[in-house]
Structure 1
Amino acid sequence: MTTATTGLDDERVGAVLAEIARTAEDNDPDIMKRAYATAADWPQPPTAQQAAELCAQAALPVHPQVGTFLYQLVRSLRPALVVEFGTSFGASTIYAAAALRDNGAGRIIGSELHPGKADRARGHLSRAGLDGYAEIKTGDAREQLADLPGPVDLVLLDGWKELYLPVLKILEPSLRAGSLIVSDNLPMLPAEFTDHVRAPGNGYLSQQLPLGDGIEFSLRLQGKGSEDL
């Protein structure tokens, strides 16, 4: 009996992830440094729309170590609902959606402010054969993720770093005890975010993991629809 190829060995999944990686390699390597340097010179922090425009040409895929970790988490946790802030071209969405497909159930809802990037991510998911497990909302995540269809089991934060905390606070009412939060690009995370997930009394157990350029990995200890851990 022949076993269907699934997971990260799926040729369609691998081909699309490789294409996104090549696009990232072809990007100007200083594009994000210039984006943050530009915003640093502004009298006020950039709005969500300004941040999206600064990053409009950057593919920004997750490091394969982080993507593989996300796949492992989804396979193990078997979440009904995964939520992502900062879809970009959809690499991380593909890792999660591949795991959901292999689990046989579940959905990931991503959010991307830039319409062109959101459309590109949808195309990548379709070509990978995973669009049935994913929905990409276009617009400000603080609005798009404010009304979700059920408790959130797993969160990936991988957008504009200054919005990590506002987005997390919007999601907190939907988190259950045992929900997991993966926050990418640890060296770039604002102190107010890491302080929030590390401070005793805020309902998290959090630690740094050396995957990619570093992630903050947080467990929600109290939440919606279940007893506190």
Structure 2
Amino acid sequence: MELVAMLPVHNEAGRYLPRVLDQLSQLADLIVVYDDASTDATPALLARYPWVRAFRGRQPWFPRHEAQLRHHLWRLTVRFRPRWILALDADELFEERALAELPPLLAGRDYDAVAFRLFDFWKGEEQVRVDGAWNPWNRFSPLLVRYRPELPDTWPDQVIHCGRLPLAYRELVTFQSHLRVRHYGWARGGEHLAKYLFYRERDLAQYGRVSAHTESVLAPRVTLEPWIPLEPAPFFRSRRQPERR
């Protein structure tokens, strides 16, 4: 397969997962999902998508050890022998022009990984946070890699913030794409306190202290920028849209 997307999910039926799956169904040949013991309608939602291969856990892994969850998801994904693997979360979407601009990235030969800027939408879907470590303009995240079966698939032994790819894949030659990824995990302001407490507890377990980035979740003042949609560049607009396989 050319492109397989992988993502972990947990109780996402009433959130952004339908939008994510709708988009990935146009971009990827297959979507491998690890359902981390959801208790809502997430399994029924996943069953409605013909391009999804869902695997379900009995007990949630993410709150206990994120690295083990990511490692397991990776091994489920590589069973399908993809040429490329895309690692997203259930609240992340590419901007719309990805339909035209992602296929040329998969055709590249001078790199084995592609990194993207992640924009954190803040208390709504019209604005993104750009202060401090939230600034997306100088921060690229590798999310797309060419599968190299000869590389080891080890992960750091971390409860949280373990990364989405095996350690060996983080050393590959990487292309920095101008395509943007929209992260909606902070778009609902009413969830900020609960998410802060979640990450605070795991920071203490892993580092013995609360990171400055976690503390900044509840900062009284933040810097926001409006989200401005962008059209595909003329070169991509002139290309015929790929047919869904």
TM-score (norm 2): 0.32
More RCO (CA 8 Å, sep 6+): 2
Query: Which structure: larger Rg?
Result: 2
TM-score (norm 1): 0.34
Instruction: From the two aligned structures, give the one with the greater helix fraction.
Output: 1
